[in-house]
A and B are shown apart, each in its own frame.
Chain A
Amino acid sequence: MRITFRTKLGAIVGAIMLAFLALIVASTAIADRANRELVNIQERFLPRIELGPQLEGKLEHLQRALQDAVAAHDLEALEATVALKNDLLERFLAARGVITPGEAAALRSAVEDYYASAHDVSRRLLTAETGEGLVEAMEAMQAKQPRTVNLLRTTTAIDRGQLASAFSEAARAQVTANQVRLIVSLGCLAVVLLLSIGLGRSTLRSLAALAVGLNRFGKGDFGQPIPVVSQDELGDLARQANQMAENLNRLGQERDRSDWIKGGQAGLAEEVRGELEPEETAARAVRFLARYLDVPVAALYVTNPDGSLRLLGHCALSAVGAPSTGAATLIRPGEGLLGHAAQQREIIVVADPPADYLCVRSGLGEARTRAIVLVPLVHAGRVTGVLELGLFTPWTDRSAELLGVARETLAIAIEVSRARSSMRGLLAETQRQADRLAEQEMELRATNEELQSQQEEVRRTNADLKQQTEELETQQRALQEKNEELETARLSLEQKAAELTTVSTYKSQFLSNMSHELRTPLNSMLLLSSLLAENETGRLTDKQVEFAKTIHLAGKDLLKLINQVLDLAKIESGRQEIHVEPVELSGLVDRIGRVFEPLATDKGLAFSVELEPGLPQTIATDRQRIDQVLNNLLANAIKFTAQGGVALHIRRPAAGAHFQRDGLRPDNTVAFVVTDSGVGIAAENLDRIFTPFEQIDSAIDRRYGGTGLGLGIARELCHLLGGELQVESVMGKGSTFTCLLPDQGPSASEKVRPPVPVVAAADPDTERSGAPLVAPGDAYLLLVEDDPNFAKAFGEIIQGQGLKYVIAPDGKTGLRLARDKPPAGIILDVRLPDSDGWTLMNQLRADPATKQIPVHFVSAVDASEHGLGLGAVGYLTKPATRQQLIQVVEALVPKPLERTARILVVEDDVVMGDSLVKQLTGENLEVRRAMNAQEALQVISQERIGCLILDLSLPDMDGVTFLRALETQCGPDMPSIVVYTARALSKAEAKALEAYTDAIVLKDGSSAERLLDEVRLFVRRLKEGLGPRRQTALPTRPATAVRLEGRKILVVDDDMRTVYALSATLRSKGAEVFVADTGHAALAELKGHPDVEAVLMDIMMPEMDGYEAMRRIRQEQRFRDLPIIALTAKAMKGERETCIEAGASDYLPKPVDPDRLITMLHACISEKVKDGRPGA
């Protein structure tokens, strides 16, 4: 039966409590008895003791009341004593429990009796009833009184014996109680002691056993369990300790096992570590495992790439490979148990293999193995090999577990060693290859050497070649020299040709003059001969009349010839004038039909004129000249045609037609084609037929007559009309002459082309004579002038200006020189032997290389308008003074102004001026001083001043006036001007000053510092070769020939730099410029000058911007068509549209290209003029 520790403790406590309870009960019972005794004593004796004196008191009170009543003679008081008596009697009744009823009755009667007598006596005494009996009554009464008292005393007296016995009884009871209490207490104590001893003993025994057991466990002895001696908690403790010991024991075993496995693993890893060959790895692994697992025989097979297994290492296997032992060195995939294991990848244990399966031999004997274990070595999902073990003992789990973990290690080790092995192989291979490379390198080096030697060879060959090249160069130089000679020859030839042309022109001129001279007498002769032939007087014989007729005819022929010569000469000398007008083609056709049809019919020839449809009604040309050409062609055709016909076709040239002249296109040209079926012209003669005074065949001439000038004139006329004359002909079959004329005749400029005076040929050596040699890069002036004396004189003037020059005696040379070596400027004569100044000017302007070169005309021909119109910088009419010629040079090459750092301080305040001078002198500057404007102007007129520091408040002149005066005095050579003033400037004043000054420094803040800055800036600019700052704003001279003479143009821009630049550009073209710096100012300016012809409008301006200003301008009817060109810094797309929307006529982006500006302005203004709507 299980009695727990708790139960035992409960029992002991219960026993103790029971004992105490018994003790208490017993004590109480005994004490009760003793108490009863005492209560008895109290109840029996105490009231009697108290009652006696009480009653005696009452009685005494009654007696005294009676006596008092008697003494007071108060009857009523006497009667009141009855109440006292009754009170006493009632007391007797009340003390019934104390006194027995008998005693009470006795007492009552005794009291009654006494009172009756006393009352009676008293009453008698009061009533003074003397009588007898009174004394007796008194005596009786006196006798009765002690008796009553005695009775009372006896009744209430206590029996002492009884009291003593009662007390002794109580004492006895007390003693008995104490005894009982002692006995019971001792009993309880004994019981508790017994129980405790029992419990202690059993507990101690269990604890001792437990301690011994635990001590043993602590020492690691888990062999014996702790005996379970009791069935209580200690027993449980012992059991749990046993359990714990058991667990510890098991864990220990497991740890051992795991240690063993780990040891095996580590050992294996250690064994196969290092750079081992696979065989060595296998052998070591097998040896180690055999030893560790305690197996007698083991073998390791590795997987070959084809999956077969190869024996790599073994232990205790005898005669591997010998058929008798049965141990195979190579096992095919899946073959036998080994192969199976490899495929299964799981450890296979073959327990109890057949007796002859595998035996292990030693020197002493042999034994068969009890079990075979096949362990596939798997790593990364691949079977690396299989380990086979033969055992004498049964296969343990421990071994299985070790191999389970070790097989991967082994697999890795084998793979690593195999990889290493193959790497070594590769390394060896690399080494071999490196060796081979080294070999090849050697070979290469050899080849290289060879190449180098070849190179050397090449180099030598090159040297030879170079020599040859040099020779060639020498030859080339020789050639070049030859070429140059040739060029010289060519030039002289050209010169000659030019001379010839001149001669030819001269001849034409001569002829032209001569013809006039000839015609005058001839006319007289013709008139006279015709008069003679008329023979009015009849005095002449028929023969004579015939002679006169012959003279007349011959004269007519001569006149015709002379006229034609005159024509040709006129044309060739450029004197022929043409009058371009609309010529109706149909009218032309009519006239030709009318004139030539009868002639052809007379000769029996067919004649037709065809006007192709689709041609313009009229063409602009010279009617007279075209008639002349066609007449000539048709007359020739009829003349040279004996049979067949002559036809004129007027049509557009064929699409593929070839034109010699520029500007002729099939769609703007009319072809007049004259076809005949006459004798034709031989191919070799086609060129000659147009040559004046040439006849192809004198025989023909004789047969047909004629001057031979006609075709030449026709061709020249065609040229003059802007067209050309072509001819096709087949000998004997006929000819076709085609006159090609443009729809629109020669342009106006050609029409008004001024005549070129014909002059004698110039000395061809002029170019070389007198002029200084011009080195490459030298700036020089080109003098195109055929008069050697004038050229030489001019050249000297140019040299006097410190410049070099080259004279070109004719246009061609001039053009060549200008192109080859652009000069700084060209001085051009109009009359030139080979061409004229206009042509040369146009050629110069047309060529981008020469376009920018400034040209100044110097000519006896007075045509300055035309010259400037072509874009010349100036025009000087001869004869010229020396001064004028110097100005020409200066106009072409603006003289670099002599710059000086000298500074003039214009300041009327002495102190201020002195301090300034001192400061500037400290800056190492040369300083002059002027006290007022007059003095300043005087100083400037005397010496060059680079910079002027100007106080605005001068006593004699205000600032702007002074500056204007200065400008007049200095012209373009104004010094830099720095205004230094204490005056507050309004915006308008400041802007007005800005036009003249480099800087304005107000005497405020760090003004001294800034003034110095500005002066230093001036000095620096001087060193850099720059002039005053306001001049740098000037753009390059516009190259365009367009001029804006007298045009009124308003420039609106708030930026003064732009304003200067634009004004300067416009003024250089002759325009009159007005300026406004805001939109408001522009409106005001327009109001004041409504005749302004164009406005240049900046967009970004304060107060009122350009858009707004343009809108406002356009609101006024009179400015609706005023050309406004918007100038904007914005390059964004859409800006143009915005400007146009706001009212601009056109738009120019900043920075403004002066050429574009001028052209655009010109176009805008002339368009408006053409529209006939002047702005004003």
Chain B
Amino acid sequence: MADRELEELEIRLLLEAIYARYGYDLRDYAPTSFRRRVLAALVKSGLENLGEFQHRVLIDAEFFSQVLEQLTVRVSEIFRDPSFYRIFRAKVVPILRTYPLLNIWHGGCAGGEEVYSSAILLKEEGLYERCQLYATDLSSQALAQARDGIYSAEHLNVLVANYQASGGNGTFANYYTLAYERLAMKESLRRKMLFFQHNLVSDQVFGEMQVIFCRNVLIYFGPDLRERVLNKFAQSLCPGGFLCLGSSERLPRTIPITKRFSEFSSSERIYRYDG
């Protein structure tokens, strides 16, 4: 058996082990990028081989949560892809205004940058008070970070520029406190946020949503998982609700449920659930 095959087998076994031990179902993730992440995590752990790695994962829950973080890590920043928020503001917000209550779900919120971005946007549009933002992620560490809402101020000028490019009509500085080269997002933004550990793949829907953000998450899933997740989103969205994917993503039209989604903004990957 070639080394590569052996390695694939070991990764598969590792994922099976994770599923059996912790219930995290990472088994259908897109293979190539995932393999890279597993190997990177192995190197970072300093362990000899995937066998040892698996053992450690099995016996050490703390270690596992770090591994999980590495396996599912994503990069984001506040008002990343300003054009998305601009379109959201211009086209989605007027429709959201017609709902007396808004449930907004950030599926796979990672460090929470997007949650704060949308909170700022909703605040500026006067919708924040009727919103409930659900921010969920697989990783408890990511959730803790999202809950804290503390980000590097290193590229503050970029953030400000993005905020303005996104159509921000206030002063960005009103939304954070700057200290120790860190931005601490204001508590008022967090008031309507609910942070929960939630596995998009194996956990169930928990409410009816008007908007679901799931940006740059699906790319880490294999076709089976994608289908499961999208079915879940369809179950969760109210008819006419919005699904916002990442700019590089696209609804895989081979999946039957996607026939019930129509494109709302092709340039920004905003889809609308037909019901």
Among A356-364, A812-820, A848-856, A1003-1011, the stretch that binds chain B is A1003-1011
User: Which of B21, B100, B238 sits near A990, CB closer than 8 Å?
Assistant: B100
- Verify if A330 is at the interface (C-beta below 8 Å from B): no
Contacts of A1058 in B (CB 8 A): 207
Residue A557 CB within 8 A of the other chain: no
The interface-forming segment of B28-36, B144-152, B198-206 is: B198-206
Given contacts A1100-B206, A1102-B194, contact A1131 B23 (CB under 8 A): yes
Beyond A1004-B98, A1006-B98, A1100-B134, whether A1133 also contacts B203 by CB under 8 A is no
In the assembled complex, the Cα of A1003 lies from the Cα of B239 at a distance in Å of: 18
Interface window among B75-83, B89-97, B112-120: B89-97
Q: Do A1006 and B275 contact each other (CB < 8 Å), given the known contacts A987-B130, A1131-B203?
A: no
A1129 at the binding interface (Cβ < 8 Å): yes
Tell me how far the C-beta of A460 lies from the nearest C-beta in chain B, rounded to whole angstroms.
Answer: 49
Those of A985-1026 within 8 Å (CB) of chain B: 985, 987, 989-991, 993-994, 999-1007, 1009-1011, 1013-1014, 1017, 1020-1021
A1058 to B199, CA, bound (A): 20
Question: Smallest distance from the beta carbon of A1078 to chain B beta carbons, Å?
Answer: 10
Per-position contact with A for B224-258: 1 when CB-CB < 8 Å, else 0? 00000000000000111000000000000000000
Please tell me if B175 contacts chain A, counting CB pairs below 8 Å: no
Residue of A nearest to B129 (CB): A987
**Is A1105 interfacial (CB-CB < 8 Å)?**
yes
The complex places the Cα of A1130 from the Cα of B203 at a distance, in Å, of 4
Q: Given that A1005-B96, A1005-B98, A1010-B240 are contacting pairs, would A1132 and B204 also be in contact in the complex, using a CB cutoff of 8 Å? A: no
Q: Which residues of A lie under 8 Å from residue B240 when comparing CB positions?
A: 1010, 1013-1014, 1017
Minimum C-beta distance from B21 to chain A (A)? 8
What is the bound-complex CA distance between A1134 and B199, given in angstroms?
Answer: 13
Q: A1159 to chain B: closest CB distance in Å?
A: 20
Q: Say how far B15's CB is from chain A's closest CB, in angstroms.
A: 15
**Minimum distance in angstroms from B239 CB to a CB of chain A:** 5
A1002 & B199 in contact (Cβ 8 Å cutoff)? no
A1021 and B197 alpha carbons, distance in the complex (Å): 34
Verify if A1055 is at the interface (C-beta below 8 Å from B): yes
The interface residues of chain A lying within 8 Å CB-to-CB of B206 are: 1055, 1098, 1100, 1129, 1150
**B236 → chain A closest CB, angstroms:** 9
Decide if A1054 is an interface residue (CB 8 Å cutoff): yes
B101 near A: Cβ within 8 Å?
Answer: yes
Chain A minimum-CB-distance residue to B275 = A1017
User: Within B95-113, which residues are at the interface with A (CB < 8 Å)?
Assistant: 95-101
CB-defined contacts of B10 to chain A, threshold 8 Å: none
A1009 to B239 CA separation, bound complex (whole angstroms): 14
- With A990-B100, A1102-B194, A1133-B23 as known contacts, state yes or no: A1054 contacts B207, CB within 8 Å: yes
A1129 contacts B95, C-beta separation under 8 Å: no
Would you give the shortest CB distance from B234 to chain A, in whole angstroms?
Answer: 13
Give the bracket for the number of chain B residues in contact with chain A: 20 to 34
Q: Is the CB of A1131 within 8 A of B202?
A: yes
Pick the contact of B204: A989, A1020, A1129 (CB < 8 A).
A1129
Check A1057 for interface membership: any CB of B closer than 8 A. yes
Contact B98 A1001 (CB under 8 A): yes
A999, A1009, A1021, A1129 — most chain B CB neighbours (10 Å)? A1129
> Counting CB contacts under 8 A, is B196 at the interface?
yes
Q: Of residues B21, B94, B134, B204, which shows the largest number of chain A Cβ atoms within 10 Å of its Cβ? A: B204
Residue pair B208, A1057 in contact (C-beta under 8 Å)? yes
Question: In the complex, which residues of chain A have a beta carbon less than 8 angstroms from the beta carbon of B99?
Answer: 1000-1002
Residues of B within 8 A of A1000 (CB): 99-100
Inter-chain contact B23/A1010, CB cutoff 8 Å: no
Q: Mark A944-972, 1 if CB is under 8 A from B, else 0.
A: 00000000000000000000000000000
Q: Which of A999, A1005, A1057 contacts B95 (CB 8 A)?
A: A1005
Q: Which of A989, A1007, A1105, A1132 contacts B194 (CB 8 A)?
A: A1105
| Contact with A1009, one of B95, B202, B208 (Cβ below 8 angstroms) | B95
Chain B residues contacting A1021 (CB-CB under 8 Å) are 275
Closest B-chain residue to A1098, C-beta based? B206
In angstroms, how far is the closest chain A Cβ from the Cβ of B137? 13
A696 CB–B CB distance under 8 Å: no
- Which residues of chain B are near A1105, meaning CB under 8 Å? 194, 196
Query: B235's closest neighbor in chain A, by CB?
Result: A1151
Asked if A1006 and B97 make an inter-chain contact with CB atoms under 8 angstroms apart, the answer reads yes
Of the candidates A1006, A1009, A1020, the one having the most CB atoms from chain B within 10 angstroms of its own CB is A1006
| Interface residue? A1056 (CB, 8 A) | yes
A1149 within 8 A of B: yes
In the assembled complex, the Cα of A991 lies from the Cα of B99 at a distance in Å of 12
- Do residues B275 and A1020 form an inter-chain contact, with CB atoms below 8 A? yes
With both chains docked as a complex, state the minimum distance between the C-beta of B97 and any C-beta of chain A, in angstroms.
3
Q: Provided the pairs A991-B101, A1130-B199, A1132-B199 are in contact, do residues A1017 and B95 lie with their beta carbons within 8 angstroms?
A: no
A1151 close to B275 (CB less than 8 A): no
Q: Assess whether A1029 is interfacial by the CB under 8 Å rule.
A: yes
User: Given A1102-B194, A1131-B199, A1133-B22, do A1005 and B207 touch, yes or no (CB 8 Å)?
Assistant: no
Question: Closest CB-CB distance, A1144 to chain B, in whole Å?
Answer: 16
Q: In the complex the two chains form, is B100's CB within 8 Å of A1129's CB?
A: no
Chain A CB count within 10 A is highest, among B199, B208, B238, for: B208
Contact of B176 with A by CB under 8 A: no
Q: Which residue of B lies closest to A1131 (CB)?
A: B202
Q: Which residues on A sit within 8 Å (CB–CB) of B274?
A: 1017, 1020
Q: How far is the CA of A1020 from the CA of B273 in the complex (A)?
A: 14
Least Cβ–Cβ distance between A887 and chain B, in angstroms: 34
Q: Is B192 interfacial (CB 8 A cutoff)?
A: yes
Given contacts A987-B130, A1013-B240, A1017-B240, contact A1100 B207 (CB under 8 A): yes
Check if A1131 sits within 8 Å of B204, measured CB to CB: yes
Shortest CB-to-CB span from A1007 to chain B, Å, is 4
Residue from A1002, A1055, A1132 within 8 A of B208 (CB atoms): A1055
Which B residues touch A1132, using CB under 8 A?
22-24, 197, 199, 202-203
B132 within 8 A of A: yes
Contact with A along B180-205 (1 / 0, CB 8 A): 00000000000010101111001111
A residues 1052-1096 touching B (CB-CB < 8 Å): 1054-1058
Complex CA distance for A1057 and B103, rounded to whole angstroms: 13
Contact B192 A1134 (CB under 8 A): no
Q: Which of A1005, A1020, A1129 contacts B198 (CB 8 A)?
A: A1129
Asked whether B93 lies within 8 Å of A1005 as measured between CB atoms, the reply is: yes
Nearest CB in chain B to that of A998: its residue: B239
CA distance A1129 to B101 in the complex (A): 21
Q: Output the least CB separation between B229 and chain A (Å).
A: 13
Q: How far is the CB of A1135 from chain B (nearest CB, A)?
A: 8
Given the complex of chains A and B, what is the CA–CA distance between A1003 and B98 in angstroms? 6
Interface centre among B22, B97, B101 (most CB of A within 10 A): B101
Q: Which A residues touch B130, using CB under 8 A?
A: 987, 990
A1142-1165 CB contacts (< 8 Å) to partner B:
1149-1151
Contact residues in B for A1131 (Cβ distance below 8 Å): 23, 199, 202-204
CB proximity of A1054 to chain B, nearest CB, Å: 6
Please state if B194 and A1129 are interface contacts (CB–CB under 8 Å).
Answer: no
Q: Who on chain B is nearest to A1011 by CB?
A: B98
Please state if A1007 and B197 are interface contacts (CB–CB under 8 Å). no
CB pair B199–A1006 under 8 Å, yes or no, is no
What chain B residues lie within 8 Å of A1100 (beta carbons)? 134, 194, 196, 198, 206-207
5 tightest CB-CB pairs across the interface, nearest first?
Answer: A1005-B97, A1005-B94, A1055-B207, A1129-B204, A990-B100
The 25 sampled A-B contact pairs (Cβ below 8 Å) are A990-B100, A990-B101, A990-B130, A993-B100, A1002-B98, A1002-B99, A1004-B98, A1005-B96, A1006-B94, A1017-B240, A1055-B208, A1100-B196, A1100-B198, A1102-B194, A1129-B204, A1129-B205, A1130-B199, A1131-B23, A1131-B199, A1131-B202, A1132-B202, A1132-B203, A1133-B23, A1134-B23, A1150-B204
Please name 5 further chain A to chain B contacts, defined as beta carbons within 8 Å, in addition to the given A994-B101, A1021-B275, A1055-B208, sorted by A numbering.
A1010-B240, A1013-B240, A1132-B23, A1149-B204, A1151-B204
